[in-house]
Structure 1
Amino acid sequence: MLKILGKTTSINVRKVLWTCEEAGLDYQQEDFGIGFASTETAEFRALNPNAMVPVLIDEDFVLWESNAICRYLARKAGRNDLLPAEPKACANVEHWMDWQATEFNNAWRYVFPALARKNPDYNDPERIAAGIKEWNHCIGILEQQLQHTGAWAAGDSFTLADIVLGLSVNRWKMTPFEHPSVPAIDAWFERLNQRPAFLRHGNNGMV
């Protein structure tokens, strides 16, 4: 059975758990991270030298980086609907996944701990304002894409792109600041809410 190391409060662990359920893969999840088993041990660093979660263990195969894990899981399950085999369709899904991991997630690096976590170390009003502007800029890109597709992030069908972006948009929605009107995203988010795995691992009250 697949083993997933990482606490369920982690946004990156939750995308992996959601992918497992969408792909119909059985897994065992073990809590690692702050408040649980330490990732700062020699044993854990042997699995992931970054000392971060999640980590996937599949027999003698170990993998870290959440989006890479999601890709592996979809391919292991033979779920070409989640990650197409055809090169162009696959690239279309993967470029939205990569954008999520780089541009989208980097936009909230300052504003999220400031406003959602109330971390006193993140208290610069100019950086908070800049972070909100950049975060909303990324949301605008996704809004345009969903207006174009009228359905899902990468086109007409649900894919891994929707999983990784769904977690990120949930975080944006739950962080307290004034949000612009995004009707296409709101409609897409309602479609995500029809998926039981999203309600368990995405829109479940956690940010």
Structure 2
Amino acid sequence: MTAITIWGRRSSFNVQKVMWLVGELALAHRHVDAGGRFGGLDDAAFLAMNPHCRVPVLRDGTTVVWESHAILRYLAAQHGGERLWPDDAAQRARADQWMDWSQTALQPAFLGGVFWGYYRTPAAERNWGAIHASLERCSGYFRLLDRMLAERAFLAGDDFGLADIPAGTTLYRYFELDIERPSVPHVEAWYERLKARPAYRRHVMIPFGDLHGRLDD
């Protein structure tokens, strides 16, 4: 029997973050498709775990965690050891700041503004003013990442860590979309380093063509 169970559809951006870390840690786990066309989020058993009716949700023994970044931190603390969850608070804060920045700045601009506004919205319903504004914000954010990555191989230093997961999960969709992008060679080099990781290829580089023009989950 495996202790860890993760609920969520594999095409979900937030689920991909969690599955990527599970893959990096080589954790035995069970995955349950939930949300979108799989449904199940309003079932009593699911609501007992997450009253917000959203994925991902993780259960590890008797522990239940929802919200993707809370799950990432839990997995790193419980299973990641010093490499992903160092004892030094300052080192952990370096990862935390990039995780929070990704969630509050990059993800709303790209996932909400570009991916949903452009790719997932039917052409006749697109708000091009909002899309172009989101693209401009994304360009600024990726230029910022490019400046940071000019000095190091990964976001928080020379080694892969928790900081790379939230922002790194955006890269596959960002570089696959037919959109204008600024020149960001250091981000592209970081992307190549992430693509060399088996867990990234398996859990993040998932074709998303079935989501085109679909506003349902």
Deviations 1:161-195 (A, max 9, x none): 11222111222222321111110011111111111
Distance 2:104 2:49 in 1: 23
- Please state if 1:123 is matched with 2:123: no
Match of 1:5 among 1, 4, 7: 7
Distance 1:11 1:22 in 2: 17
Q: 3-state SS of the aligned residue for 1:85?
A: coil
Question: Does the 8 Å contact 1:113/1:119 carry over to 2?
Answer: no
Shift of 1:20: 0.9
Residues matched between the structures, number = 206
Q: Which residue of structure 1 aligns with residue 143 of structure 2? A: 140
Shift of 1:119: 3.4
Match of 2:61 among 55, 59, 62: 59
Q: TM-score, normalised by structure 2?
A: 0.89
Shift of 1:110: 2.5
Query: Which one-letter code corresponds to 1:35 in the other structure?
Result: R
Q: 3-state SS of the aligned residue for 2:30?
A: strand
| Cα distance, 1:181–1:196 mapped onto 2, change above 3 Å | same
Q: Which has the higher contact order (CA 8 A, sep 6+)?
A: 2
Percentage identity across paired residues of the two chains: 37
Distance 1:194 1:51 in 2: 34
Where is the helix percentage greater, Structure 1 or Structure 2?
A: 2
Distance 2:81 2:184 in 1: 30
Question: Does the 8 Å contact 2:11/2:206 carry over to 1?
Answer: no
Unaligned regions of 5+ residues in structure 1, if any?
none
| Cα distance, 1:162–1:7 mapped onto 2, change above 3 Å | same
Question: Does the 8 Å contact 2:146/2:187 carry over to 1?
Answer: yes
Question: Does the 8 Å contact 1:5/1:32 carry over to 2?
Answer: yes
Unaligned regions of 5+ residues in structure 2, if any?
210-217
Q: Which residue of structure 1 aligns with residue 26 of structure 2? A: 24
